[in-house]
């Protein structure tokens, strides 16, 4: 099927939706296989119409097409089978088993046998794995959640989930355009034309013939008409058959091309929104009337399809050919318009620029003077530099005096050098900073210049005399050129107002630059002469910014007048005149409108809390989006060089990254470990950066306390959510265990853990309690606990043997590794649940195969007992930590030590001995290390420190536990003084502090504090704490926006 045939079918689907022909629409979706209507599919699943859901799915993929498709069909048929068993309809169940499920027996015979065995049970929930099976409504919801995951990763479906963005009633509009075109070709055009049929082309009768021509009974081929549109010849534009010579001559004779010799100011005022050049083509002496689809004399016709009145016939014809929105360009889908992620900068973003070649790295400048480098692909702030004067003695006396006032100095502009070896920063007062950028050393201070009196408004790189230089402009009305040693080599004078922006340029081996000033003057300077050669007035005679298209052939500018009028235009560079003015920007803007160009194809500007896009060849707005909301009135924005990513600032001090399909593909790819990607930096201590810390009170969060303590008056040591987020498992002193489960109901439709519903203390149907008794050990042993990735199994120990038990039935399946020495930490290998790592009291780590009852390896690397173990599938390593304040990385196949590091205190020297815990970030590269005196982030690939946070900011207690949230953007930490800290993971800045008064009632008088924290696996703002009195509490904010005042996406990373 050709591309345009596909588009035609999609327009028909849109038409059916407009006409509310839903069943026909869904049938066409299914039969064409072009658009997978996820909403309709979900409705069928949740309503239990599983047969129809399967038929619909079959229009897009087949069982054998790929593994995801097979899994989807299996899950739907399995649900049908379970529902039949649940209503005791065993006849139907047998039919499903034989007709629908039998096909899967070839790929997994054991599973088919197990499913077959269910039919012999009175209640299929007697099966251990199905004992938690809920009611029909809940299980359909769970099924749909699983299907959505499979759809998102199914290559046959993932590109068919988004319906193309087209104008409403697009098919009707195309028909009307065709009718108007046909009417233009009429030899004797009637002033009151009527359309009674679409089965034949429209022709107005001769004046002598007053009879009404009846439609032919047979449908005539479209090619017979004068307006044959060939879908095979021109795949991206309409090609009408050439009109008669007389009509062509009339168009040309009456064409009125605009003059190209206007001044910029005159052109700006003349190029108002209105008919384009196409309209002037039809401005001929023959009056023509606009046509619509139907005969206006018919009483039962669609009122939306009436003929225009006969008056103002010429204007009507022009309007027919000058549409408010242009035809959708072929590259429309290349617009990066879908939010990929949100980054929290922490201060108002003032400038952004993507790396010239590593297209996902973004440099950001902020209102607080901080600059940051973000790896947007991993949502990670790699580097952060707060504003600081490097050497005050090199600054002017005026600036030294001003700096004593401690006024926050904003970043006005950040700019990469063409080869990305430098980043230049222009500040709102006097200064320019130049950093060298090298991997893996990060940003290094290179040069500080007191460049201008007042603000430095813009900064750029240029190559005068074949050497890389920095060009700056400022409020002092000067433009200066500096070499990389800080020597001034040029100074351009002549502007009579502050210089707002600069644009270096090279053409035919001549180096020159454009500059714009606050009084609306645009000047061109040549380095050799040090004087301006050209001067123009910018449209509106206002402060203006200039940019070139990617290929350097087209020049654009955008300016905002003092009255708030916005002028976005394209220039005729050779004549210094305005070539095109773009419409759609609301007047009366307060501030400067930011804009950018990409791929020689489109422009984007931020205005009216939106992002507006234009085709560079059309003056009308192509599209407006709000990027899911949260944008300021005039958002700042920047494309990357490929044009597949767009960064836009948010009102709450963040950045949203928007992507097109190509951008999503590149951003979601799991990079191989690149030695160039690591950046070593220790973020400044938060007391050195002026940031506010907000205290959370009880009214700001909702808290639920588990109905039973682990063991009265004993400590809850280990606490874990199940991986599906529906249960919470705690292990306390004497090996006591508790499992709490949330169920699906009207109060909690998802069945996930929530602080708004009290869960039940859960026990299986067989009544076995999850408990081990160790009467002779007391409180001296270390509880150990972990849950397998599929939530079916858990391992636990408390001073005795390690027990593997079934999470459904609570039955102990086996015991191993009996003392001495006793186990002090246990962890499943996430790649293979049969492999268990056991940290021992004697400092060893045993790698044990549960299935074969075999000790695989015995590892030695600590000199105190092991207190933490974590696995990274991406790096193929295991990391362990111990009470010796050491962290050791191990290769996992074969098993041997890779590297060992000792924790360092921020003030110097080794950290004191004490329990150390470890956890991997979702990117499987960064490692969170928690010691009682500090929290640290390491690059686990090299075991190098990235940043650390010593106990400070009013949190005087020792750190008892810390954990990443599910998307890796927040770290929760608990303290022995009862406080809970909520940190930004990218920079370890403390954002919130939860006092004991928020979660303890009455106020703390017995030295009760949290000793462990764990984060929900799917909800980024929910966490649970285990207290020293044995109680467990779940905490989450009342406001759905979350702790960080932003909607942070839940991110899943699949490690292959």
Q: Are 154 and 69 in contact (CB under 8 A)?
A: yes
989-994 vs 694-696, strand pairing mode = parallel
pLDDT given at position 503: 94
pLDDT at residue 776 in the model: 54
- 639 and 781 inside one domain: no
DSSP result, 919-951: EE-TTSSEEEEEETTEEEEEETTTTEEEEEEES
Residue 138, classed as helix, strand or coil, is helix
Average pLDDT of span 472-476 = 95
**pLDDT (tens digit per residue) in 74-131:** 999 999 999 999 888 989 999 999 999 989 888 888 888 888 989 888 888 888 788 7
User: Percent of the chain having pLDDT more than 90?
Assistant: 35
Counted domains in the chain:
4
Whether residues 715 and 583 fall in one domain? no
pLDDT digit string, tens, across residues 387-444? 888 888 778 877 777 765 656 789 999 999 998 889 999 999 889 999 998 765 578 8
Tokens of 749: 């439709």
- What would the two tokens of residue 461 be? 């790189």
Q: Residues of the chain with pLDDT > 70: what percent? A: 78
Mean pLDDT of 494-520: 89
User: Between the CA of residue 800 and those of 37, 821, 1004, 1056, what are the distances in Å?
Assistant: 55, 9, 34, 36
Are 734 and 599 contained in the same domain?
A: no
Most confident of 399-413, 921-935, 940-954: 921-935
Instruction: Determine if the peptide bond prior to 334 is cis (ω within 30°).
Output: no
Look at residue 955 and tell me whether its pLDDT is greater than 90: no
Structural contact between residues 294 and 195, judged by C-beta atoms closer than 8 angstroms: yes
Eight-state DSSP code of residue 910: B
Same domain, 898 and 982: yes
Find the mean pLDDT for residues 269-295.
Answer: 36
pLDDT of 822 higher than 50: yes
DSSP string, 796-812: EEESS-EEEEETTT--E
Report DSSP state, residue 876: T
Do 811 and 926 fall into the same domain? yes
Please tell me whether the peptide bond between 638 and the residue prior to it is cis, using omega within 30 degrees of 0: no
Per-residue pLDDT tens over the stretch 122-156: 888 888 788 778 788 888 988 998 898 899 889 89
Q: Which residues contact 275 (CB under 8 A, 6 or more apart)?
A: 318, 319, 321, 322
pTM of the prediction? 0.42
pLDDT reported for residue 75: 93
Maximum separation of any 2 CA atoms in the chain, in Å: 116
Q: What is the mean pLDDT of residues 206-227?
A: 41
**Nearest-angstrom CA–CA distance, 320 and 314:** 10
Of 613, 635, 669, the domain-final residue: 669
Domain coverage including residue 999: 693-1037
Measure the CA–CA gap between 596 and 65, rounded to whole angstroms.
42
Q: Is the separation of the CB atoms in 533 and 526 below 8 Å?
A: yes
- Which tokens in the block code for residue 897? 């030590």
Stretch 636-660: mean pLDDT:
93
Residue 711 and residue 778 in one domain: yes
Same domain, 714 and 579: no
Burial class of 96 by CB neighbour count within 10 A (0 to 12, 13 to 18, 19+): buried
Place of tokens 């399946």: 813
CATH number for the domain harbouring residue 583: 2.130.10.10
Q: Please, which contacts does 136-140 make with residues 24 or more away whose CB atoms are closer than 8 Å?
A: 136/48, 136/83, 136/86, 137/46, 137/744, 138/743, 138/744, 138/751, 139/79, 139/82, 139/83, 140/45, 140/46, 140/48, 140/79
Say whether pLDDT at 1024 is over 90.
yes
Average pLDDT rounded to a whole number, residues 908-916 = 80
The DSSP secondary-structure symbol of 71 reads H
Task: Give pLDDT tens digits for 712-723.
Answer: 444 557 899 999
Instruction: For residue range 364-388, list pLDDT tens digits in order.
Output: 999 989 999 998 988 888 888 888 8
Burial degree of 657 (CB within 10 A; 0-12, 13-18, 19+): buried
CA distance 498 to 918: 54
The answer to the question of residue 62 being in a domain is: yes
Q: Give the 3-state secondary structure of residue 237.
A: coil
User: pLDDT tens digits for 542-564?
Assistant: 889 999 998 888 999 999 888 88
Mean pLDDT (whole number) for 321-339: 61
Q: Tell me if 511 is assigned to some domain.
A: no
Note whether residue 371 is domain-resident.
no
Residue 549 within a domain: yes
- CB neighbours of 210 closer than 8 A, spacing ≥ 6? none
Q: Is the dihedral of CA 405, 410, 415, 416 positive or negative?
A: positive
Q: Using the predicted structure, report yes or no on whether residue 211 has a pLDDT greater than 80.
A: no
Residues whose CB is less than 8 angstroms from the CB of residue 119 and which lie 6 or more positions away in sequence, other chains included: 85, 90, 93, 94, 97
Using CA atoms, how far residue 708 sits from 63, 703, 784, 1027, in Å, is 47, 15, 20, 12
Within a domain: residue 891? Answer: yes
In this structure, are 735 and 856 located in the same domain? yes
Q: Looking at the structure, do residues 873 and 974 belong to the same domain, yes or no?
A: yes
Structure tokens at 590: 């307060």
If asked whether residues 600 and 718 sit together in one domain, one would say: no
Q: Is residue 425 part of a domain?
A: no
What is the rounded average pLDDT for all residues in the chain? 79
In-domain check, residue 83: yes
- Residues 92, 155, single domain; the answer is yes
Res 960 pLDDT > 50: yes
Measure the CA–CA gap between 657 and 637, rounded to whole angstroms: 10
Residues 764 and 875 in one domain: yes
Upstream peptide bond of 820 is cis (omega within 30 degrees of 0): yes
Average pLDDT value for residue range 974-994: 89
pLDDT mean over 271-298 = 36
pLDDT of residue 325: 40
- Which residue do the tokens 């200066």 mark? 480
Which among 905, 991, 916, 922 is positioned nearest to 961, based on CA atoms?
A: 916
> Is it the case that residue 857 has pLDDT exceeding 60?
yes
* Pairwise CA distance, residues 137 & 133, whole Å: 11
Q: Among residues 101, 133, 160, which one ends one of the domains?
A: 160
Output the pLDDT for position 1041. 55
Q: What single string gives the DSSP state of each residue in 271-297?
A: --SS--HHHHHT-SSS------SS-TT
Within-domain flag for 147: yes
More confident residue, 27 or 325: 27
């Amino acid at each position: 099927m050709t591309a345009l045939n596909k588009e035609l079918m999609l327009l028909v689907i849109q038409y059916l939706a407009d006409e509310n022909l839903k069943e026909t629409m869904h049938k066409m979706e299914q039969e064409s296989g072009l658009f997978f209507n996820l909403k309709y599919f979900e409705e069928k699943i949740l309503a239990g119409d599983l047969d129809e859901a399967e038929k619909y799915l079959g229009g897009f993929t087949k069982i054998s097409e790929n593994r995801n498709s097979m899994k989807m069909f299996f899950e739907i048929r399995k649900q049908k089978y379970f529902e039949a068993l649940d209503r005791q309809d065993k006849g139907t169940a047998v039919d499903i088993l034989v007709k629908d499920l039998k096909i899967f027996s070839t790929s997994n015979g054991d599973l088919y046998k197990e499913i077959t065995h269910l039919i012999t049970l009175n209640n299929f929930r007697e099966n251990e794995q199905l004992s938690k099976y809920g009611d029909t409504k809940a299980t359909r919801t769970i099924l749909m959640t699983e299907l959505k995951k499979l759809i998102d990763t199914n290559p046959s479906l993932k590109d068919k989930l988004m319906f193309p963005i087209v104008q409403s009633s697009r098919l009707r509009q195309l028909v009307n355009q065709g009718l108007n075109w046909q009417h233009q070709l009429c030899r004797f055009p009637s002033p009151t034309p009527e359309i009674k049929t679409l089965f034949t082309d429209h022709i107005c009768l001769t004046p002598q013939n007053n009879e009404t021509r009846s439609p032919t009974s047979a449908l005539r081929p479209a090619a017979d008409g004068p307006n044959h549109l060939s879908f095979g010849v021109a795949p991206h534009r309409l090609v009408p058959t050439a009109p008669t010579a007389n009509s062509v001559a009339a168009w040309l004779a009456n064409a009125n091309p605009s003059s190209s010799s206007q001044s910029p100011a005159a052109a700006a005022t003349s190029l108002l929104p209105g008919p384009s050049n196409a309209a002037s083509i039809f401005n001929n002496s023959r009056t023509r009337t606009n046509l619509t689809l139907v005969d206006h004399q018919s009483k039962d016709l669609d009122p939306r399809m009436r003929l225009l009145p006969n008056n103002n016939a010429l204007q009507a014809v022009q309007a027919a050919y000058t549409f408010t929105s242009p035809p959708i360009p072929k590259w429309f889908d290349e617009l990066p318009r879908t939010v990929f992620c949100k980054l929290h900068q922490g201060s108002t973003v003032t400038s952004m620029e993507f790396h010239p070649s590593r297209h996902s790295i973004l440099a950001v400048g902020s209102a607080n003077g901080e600059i940051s480098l973000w790896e947007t692909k991993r949502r990670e702030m790699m580097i952060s530099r707060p504003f600081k004067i490097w050497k005050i003695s090199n600054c002017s006396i005026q600036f030294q005096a001003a700096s004593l006032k401690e006024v926050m100095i904003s970043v006005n502009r950040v700019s990469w050098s063409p080869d990305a070896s430098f980043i230049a920063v222009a500040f709102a007062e006097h200064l320019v900073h130049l950093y060298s950028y090298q991997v893996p050393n990060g940003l290094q201070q290179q040069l500080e210049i007191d460049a201008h009196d007042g603000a430095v408004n813009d900064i750029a790189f240029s190559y005068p005399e074949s050497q890389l230089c920095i060009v700056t402009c400022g409020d002092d009305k000067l433009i200066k050129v500096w070499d990389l040693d800080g020597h001034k080599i040029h100074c351009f004078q002549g502007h009579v107002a502050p210089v707002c922006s600069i644009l270096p340029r090279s053409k035919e081996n001549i180096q020159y630059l454009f500059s714009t000033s606050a009084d609306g003057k645009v000047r061109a300077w040549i380095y050799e002469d040090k004087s301006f050669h050209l001067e123009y007035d910018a449209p509106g005679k206002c402060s203006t910014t200039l940019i070139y298209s990617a290929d350097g052939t087209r020049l654009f500018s955008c300016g905002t007048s003092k009255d708030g009028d916005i002028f976005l235009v394209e220039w005729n560079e050779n004549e210094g005149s305005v070539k095109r003015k773009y419409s759609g920007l609301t007047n009366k803007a307060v501030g400067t409108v930011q804009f950018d160009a990409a791929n020689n194809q489109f422009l984007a500007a931020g205005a009216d809390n939106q992002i507006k896009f234009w085709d560079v060849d059309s003056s009308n707005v192509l599209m407006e989006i709000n990027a899911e909301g949260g944008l300021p009135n005039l958002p700042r924005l920047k494309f990357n060089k490929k044009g597949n990513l767009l960064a836009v600032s948010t009102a709450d001090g963040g950045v949203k990254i928007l992507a097109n399909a190509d951008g999503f593909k590149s951003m979601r790819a799991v990079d191989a470990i690149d030695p160039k990607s690591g950046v070593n930096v220790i973020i400044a201590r938060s007391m050195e950066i002026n940031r506010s810390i907000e205290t959370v009170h009880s009214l700001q969060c909702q808290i639920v306390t588990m109905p039973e303590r682990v063991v009265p008056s004993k400590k809850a040591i280990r606490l874990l959510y199940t991986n599906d987020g529906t249960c919470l498992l705690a292990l306390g002193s004497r090996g006591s265990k508790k499992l709490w489960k949330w169920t699906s109901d009207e109060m909690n439709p998802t069945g996930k853990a929530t602080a708004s519903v009290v869960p039940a203390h859960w026990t299986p149907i067989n009544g076995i309690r999850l408990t081990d008794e160790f009467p002779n050990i007391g409180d001296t042993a270390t509880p150990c606990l972990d849950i397998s990735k599929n939530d079916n199994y858990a391992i636990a120990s408390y001073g005795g043997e390690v027990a593997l038990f079934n999470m459904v039935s609570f039955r102990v399946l086996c015991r191993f590794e009996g003392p001495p020495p006793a186990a002090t930490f246990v962890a499943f290998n996430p790649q293979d649940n049969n492999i268990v790592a056991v940290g021992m009291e004697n400092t060893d780590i045993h790698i044990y195969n549960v299935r074969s009852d075999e000790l695989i390896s015995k590892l030695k690397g600590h000199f105190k007992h092991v207190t933490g173990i974590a696995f990274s599938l991406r790096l193929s390593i295991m990391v362990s930590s111990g009470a010796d304040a050491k962290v050791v990385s191990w290769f996992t196949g074969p098993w041997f030590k890779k590297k060992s590091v000792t924790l360092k205190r921020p003030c110097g020297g080794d950290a004191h001995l004490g329990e150390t815990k470890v956890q991997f970030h979702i990117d499987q590269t960064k490692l969170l290390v928690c010691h009682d005196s500090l929290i640290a982030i390491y690059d686990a690939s090299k075991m190098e420190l990235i940043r650390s946070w010593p106990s400070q900011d009013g949190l005087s207690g020792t750190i008892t536990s810390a954990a990443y949230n599910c998307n890796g953007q927040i770290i929760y930490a608990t303290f022995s003084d009862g406080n809970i800290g909520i940190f930004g993971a990218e920079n370890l800045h403390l954002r919130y502090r939860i006092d004991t008064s928020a979660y303890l009632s009455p106020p703390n008088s017995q030295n009760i504090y949290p000793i462990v924290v764990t984060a929900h696996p799917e909800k980024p703002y929910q966490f649970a704490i285990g207290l020293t009195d044995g109680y467990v509490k779940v905490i989450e904010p009342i406001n759905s926006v979350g702790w960080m005042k932003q909607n942070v996406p839940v991110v899943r990373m699949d490690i292959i």
